[in-house]
């Protein structure tokens, strides 16, 4: 606590990102990065953009990148917003479309109790009241639970950290409900490339759907910081109004060049992401064969729980994470109600996942021996 902080800063609980180790060499399965490199065309484009023109500001409208996204997704450029990673776009979207408490209490926005842990942080930052809706016993989202008066709704599809996808028909039915109340539905499609059905083709049907996308996962560009949103042009203009009240140049020249090349090289990325999906299916099958619970994932990660002995998992989520760390493997644990026994494991290369599976088996076997 500092006496210089204002009350807003005193009261927020910032998001804690996954560890990026600097010393020891780990197999990193903790932040859902892509294990394969970006397209060579991306590297080339960035190298080409590293020239004397860096003395000039970048295009604040990100025109070339937005045109590339528009072509790829069969939408109009004015239906695309580009930003410095999708976290930034989500932060702008919360500020643009959800009502803050302003003298009187605004209607609460809705999101799942188990979901991306940045949502409550943005809500608190902008003083937007929110209510969490419990996911079902099997951790799936029941969109019917969201058909109540609210200030709008947000969830990832597939959800994180469970990886469970939401059927498109459910997303659209909720969008229709919210549209009648003039409320926005934010669909965070960070992991949609790994199996969920995108809502992008329905942005003309439902003017209140904003889909948010990232280049960090499926385009192997977490280090570049790039993302985009697709939705009705009025929503896009709302995002621009927030950005231009904050920082007009959020995407730099190198990132613009790299992001555009990534969006245009769908063939390369389809190839590597197919591999990630195949690895996910193989690892899921192997772990289930060993007695682990693995939720059905449509993402580039899985959410797992150690084999049950009597009624409890034979090792807690925190202990399994620590044991894996000792063996040089980083995974993510969320010490939160309902999911403390689970670990989120990002998909690495097949060799990395073999090392992970071997470590899991060794840890579980060693528990049996010490009893
Ligand atoms: N949404 C979800 C559900 C995520 O898991 C992440 C990654 N932490 C993001 C958005 C943000 O991704 P980025 O800012 O790297 O685009």
Q: Ligand 1 center to residue 103 CA distance, Å?
A: 32
Average pLDDT taken over every residue of the chain? 96
pLDDT over 80 (residue 24): no
pLDDT over 70 (residue 269): yes
Average of per-residue pLDDT across 5-26: 88
Any idea which residue has 């060993």 for tokens?
A: 290
Average of per-residue pLDDT across 322-347: 96
Q: Which of 19, 120, 214 to mutate to test the pocket of ligand 1 (most atoms within 8 A of CB)?
A: 214
Nearest residue (CA) to ligand 1, atom 2: 190
Does 160 sit in the ligand 1 pocket, CB within 6 Å?
yes
CB contact set of 142 (below 8 Å; sequence gap of 6+) = 135, 136
- Read off the pLDDT band of 17 (50, 70, 90): confident
Q: Ligand 1 center to residue 246 CA distance, Å?
A: 21
pLDDT over 70 (residue 370): no
Question: 273-302 pLDDT, tens per residue?
Answer: 999 999 999 999 999 999 999 999 999 999
Does 87 sit in the ligand 1 pocket, CB within 6 Å?
yes
Count Cβ neighbours within 10 Å for each residue of 82-111 and write b for 16 or more, e otherwise. Answer: bbbbbbbbbbbbbbbbbbeeeeeeebbbbb
Question: 148-207 pLDDT, tens per residue?
Answer: 999 999 999 999 999 999 999 999 999 999 999 999 999 999 999 999 999 999 999 999
Question: 132-164 pLDDT, tens per residue?
Answer: 999 999 999 999 999 999 999 999 999 999 999
pLDDT, residue 56, reads: 98
Question: Exposed, middle or buried, 173 (CB in 10 Å: 0-12/13-18/19+)?
Answer: middle
Q: Which of 216, 229, 259, 262 to mutate to test the pocket of ligand 1 (most atoms within 8 A of CB)?
A: 216
Question: 122-131 pLDDT, tens per residue?
Answer: 999 999 999 9
Q: Ligand 1 center to residue 313 CA distance, Å?
A: 29
Q: Which helix (H) or strand (E) holds 168?
A: helix 168-180
Q: Ligand 1 center to residue 369 CA distance, Å?
A: 40
Q: Which atom of ligand 1 is nearest to the CA of 90?
A: 10
Q: Which atom of ligand 1 is nearest to the CA of 116?
A: 3
Average of per-residue pLDDT across 239-247: 97
């Amino acid at each position: 606590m500092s006496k210089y902080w204002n009350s807003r800063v005193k009261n927020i609980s910032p998001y804690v990102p996954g560890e990026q180790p600097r010393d020891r060499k780990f197999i990193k399965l903790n932040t859902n990065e892509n294990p394969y490199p970006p397209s060579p065309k991306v590297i080339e484009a960035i190298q080409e953009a590293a020239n004397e023109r860096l003395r000039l500001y970048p295009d604040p409208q990100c025109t070339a990148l937005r045109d590339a996204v528009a072509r790829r997704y069969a939408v109009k450029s004015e239906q695309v917003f580009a930003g410095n990673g999708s976290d930034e776009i989500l932060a702008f979207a919360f500020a643009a479309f959800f009502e803050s408490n302003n003298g009187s209490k605004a209607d609460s926005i809705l999101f799942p109790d188990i979901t991306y842990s940045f949502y409550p942080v943005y809500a608190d930052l902008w003083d937007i009241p929110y209510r969490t809706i419990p996911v079902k016993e099997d951790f799936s989202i029941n969109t019917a639970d969201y058909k109540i008066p609210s200030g709008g709704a947000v969830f990832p599809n597939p959800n994180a950290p469970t990886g469970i996808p939401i059927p498109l028909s459910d997303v659209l039915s909720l969008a229709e409900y919210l549209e009648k109340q003039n409320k926005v539905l934010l669909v965070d499609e960070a992991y949609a490339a790994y199996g969920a059905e995108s809502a992008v083709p329905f942005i003309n049907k439902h003017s209140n759907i904003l889909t948010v996308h990232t280049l960090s996962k499926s385009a192997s560009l977490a280090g570049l910081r790039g993302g985009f949103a697709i939705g009705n042009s009025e929503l896009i203009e709302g995002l621009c109004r927030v950005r231009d009240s904050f920082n007009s140049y959020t995407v730099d020249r190198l990132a613009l060049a790299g992001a555009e090349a990534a969006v245009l090289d769908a063939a390369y990325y389809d190839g590597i992401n197919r591999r990630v999906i195949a690895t996910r299916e193989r690892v899921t099958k192997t772990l289930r064969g060993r007695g682990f619970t693995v939720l059905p994932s449509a993402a580039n990660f899985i959410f797992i729980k150690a084999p049950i002995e009597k009624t409890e998992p034979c090792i807690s989520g925190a202990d399994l994470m620590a044991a894996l760390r000792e063996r040089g493997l980083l995974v993510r644990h969320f010490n939160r109600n309902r999911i403390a026994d689970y670990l989120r494991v990002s998909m690495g290369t097949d060799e990395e996942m073999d090392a992970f599976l071997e470590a899991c088996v060794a840890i579980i076997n060693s528990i049996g021996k010490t009893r």
